[in-house]
Amino acid sequence: MALIEDLNWRHAVKAYDATKKVSKENIDKIVEAARLAPTSSGLHGFQVIVVENQELKEKLVKGALNPECMRDCSHVLIFAGWDRYTAERIDKVFDYTTDERGLERGRFGSYTDMLKKIYLAQPAEENFAHIARQTYIALGLALAQAAELRVDSTPVEGFDNSVVDEILELEKRGLKSVSLMYVGYADTPNDWIAPMKKVRTPKDEFVIEFK
């Protein structure tokens, strides 16, 4: 039940204490949880960008709908997906996988050929939509790990992707931002949602069972 307790503890923080910083050890654990997320075909078509630098956060603020949180949190994590699937990217992932498992390269050639046939024929927008959905699995695990560490966090879709992409020069890396995660410690007196009862979807309305 520890995970359930952790998830009941967390909430989307609305104000951060700018004087409190999350340790590198805990940031590394949060990012590791995201790295270990399952992804479609194991392609893991995204990266997590960790921004601690205050000057850079100040630049990113102009693209935020909740600028105070971005400015005052300890770290901003940017979940950025590949702009599209390519044959090279697919091969690189599976070459690494076979190398790590001590298998000959090309062992999964029939499978990667199938992936290429599917993905390379799709428009980049359709590719990216599929990739973006994978990032949310990683975001969820990162939020859960932060909660286990009692590190406050806020998942964020309310931002101007074009601003973030431009400032971080993501296009040069073949990436596009999907979501953000603010990480830090709450400024409890100013975190207006903190004293409120946590409200989730009622259990009897959330689950549909076929027995």
From the centroid of its chain, how far is CA 134? 9
How many Cβ atoms from other residues are within 10 Å of residue 24's Cβ? 11
Sheet containing 152-156, strands listed edge to edge, beginning at the edge strand earlier in sequence? 46-51, 75-82, 175-184, 152-156
One pLDDT digit (tens) per residue for the chain, 211 residues: 699 999 999 999 999 999 999 999 999 999 999 999 999 999 999 999 999 999 999 999 999 999 999 999 999 999 999 999 999 999 999 999 999 999 999 999 999 999 999 999 999 999 999 999 999 999 999 999 999 999 999 999 999 999 999 999 999 999 999 999 999 999 999 999 998 888 889 988 999 889 9
Q: Count of residues for the chain?
A: 211
Classify residue 159 by burial, with Cβ atoms within 10 Å: 0-12, 13-18, 19+.
buried
pLDDT of 42 reads: 95
How many Cβ atoms from other residues are within 10 Å of residue 192's Cβ? 9
Residue 167: which residues within 8 A CB-CB, separation 6 or more? 56, 59, 60, 63
Rounded-to-integer distance, Cα 137 and Cα 179, Å: 11
pLDDT of 203 reads: 87
Rounded-to-integer distance, Cα 126 and Cα 85, Å: 10
Single pTM value for the model: 0.95
**Sign of the dihedral defined by the CA atoms of residues 171, 173, 175, 176, in that order:** negative
Rounded-to-integer distance, Cα 118 and Cα 106, Å: 18
pLDDT of 204 reads: 86
Give the residue among 64, 61, 29 at the shortest CA–CA distance from 48.
29
